[in-house]
Chain A
Amino acid sequence: MASEKGRTTGVVCVIPAFNEEATIGRIVGEALKHCGTVIVVDDNSEDRTAELSRKAGATVIRHVLRLGTGGALSTGFRAALRSDFDIILTMDGDGQHTPDEIPAILDPIQRHEADIVIGSRLLGEPGSMPFIKRVGNKVLSTAASIACGTRITDSQSGFRAYRRELLEYVMHRAWDYRWASEILVLAARADFRIKEVPIAAIYPRKRRKGADIMDGLKILYSTIRRS
């Protein structure tokens, strides 16, 4: 996992993307400063997401139909596990996460303090996170904390790092947003260590995507069922 030229070669960054042509090139470029490889899982985008990701230096895996965020991440994880990376990092392709915070996310795993690190938008300043999202996140994180038996402040964050051994042992099955809580519960049950670090919460003004109330209810039900 030696760091050369500022980037960590044993780290692969998996970015699930659907119609992210406005931001994906910049995100890939910045992620490559910190990670050896970036895999963009294009979830059947209708725009130039795949083309721009490739141009920016990412390896692109394309779904022939839209599977959802959980499906895209599961594809990325499976692809990463075929190779010899030690740490698998995930982040969103819409600019909600800052690639400059990658070293802070990787640090607890590199120091053998955790097996999953979650970048929590609610540990620091919630910033521009909409009020309704903050309330929803609080409810889902409380349910996830009870199910996992450890305090989690942002169970829905997609900015995470996983130790390879964890993903070899547990993998979520949900194709949609339920993946985020599901993998935490599975990992906690298998006695893997979960740690959170504060990250900035950036919500672009014109953000159209993200979980809605129905998704929230599905996540809550699935988390309660697992606890």
Chain B
Amino acid sequence: MEPYAIAATVFGLAMLFLTTWEFMRRKIGFLQYSFWMALWIAVTFVGAVPQFYSALLFTTQALGMYTPIHFVTTFSVLILFAVTYLLGKRVAELTEKVNTIAQHIALQNSSNIPSAMQHRNRDEA
């Protein structure tokens, strides 16, 4: 087994356990869990049983890549770019909502704004 294969297997398994642990503690939902599990299983297989990807050889070569590992890593990176983009978008949406709520709370707690009429009456008195 090549050193990179050992590193990929260990990393894949560790993340697989961590993701399952987070799912069991209800920290992540089922959809998120399924997506990440598929990714970690793919990473683990790259290291542990690289011959598994020989089935992909035809597709890989059709796409102009020499080996299945190139195919897996390239598409994993592309998928992660997409995930990062979607997360960024989600964070922006949530920030907008949190800011709106914070403003709403501030306005609710400030019911004592004096009016111009009060000032006029006080000045006249």
Contact = CB atoms under 8 A, between A and B. Distances in A.
B107 A78 contact: yes
A37 B114 contact: yes
B31 interface: no
B26 interface: no
A4 B113 contact: no
- Give the interface size bracket for A toward B: 20 to 34
Interface stretch (B49-57, B68-76, B81-89, B96-104): B96-104
Given A61-B107, A79-B110, A36 B116 contact: yes
Contact of A5 (B98, B103, B114, B123): B123
Given A5-B123, A59-B110, A64-B106, A84 B115 contact: yes
A177 B107 CA distance: 21
Contacts of A175: 99
Majority SS at the chain B contact face: helix
Interface string B105-125: 111011011111101100110
A5 B120 CA distance: 11
B114 to A, nearest CB: 5
Contacts of A85: 115-116
A189 interface: no
> In this complex, which of A60, A63, A86 has the most chain B Cβ atoms within 10 angstroms of its Cβ?
A63
- Give the interface size bracket for B toward A: 10 to 19
Contact of B117 (A59, A65, A67, A84): A84
B109 to A, nearest CB: 7
Interface of A: 1-2, 4-5, 9-12, 36-37, 39, 41, 59-65, 67, 71, 74-75, 78-80, 82-86, 175
Given A65-B98, A80-B113, 5 more contacts: A2-B123, A4-B120, A62-B106, A64-B106, A78-B103
16 contacts: A36-B114, A36-B119, A37-B113, A37-B116, A59-B113, A63-B103, A64-B102, A64-B106, A65-B98, A74-B103, A78-B103, A78-B107, A83-B114, A83-B115, A84-B115, A85-B116
Interface of B: 98-99, 102-103, 105-107, 109-110, 112-117, 119-120, 123-124
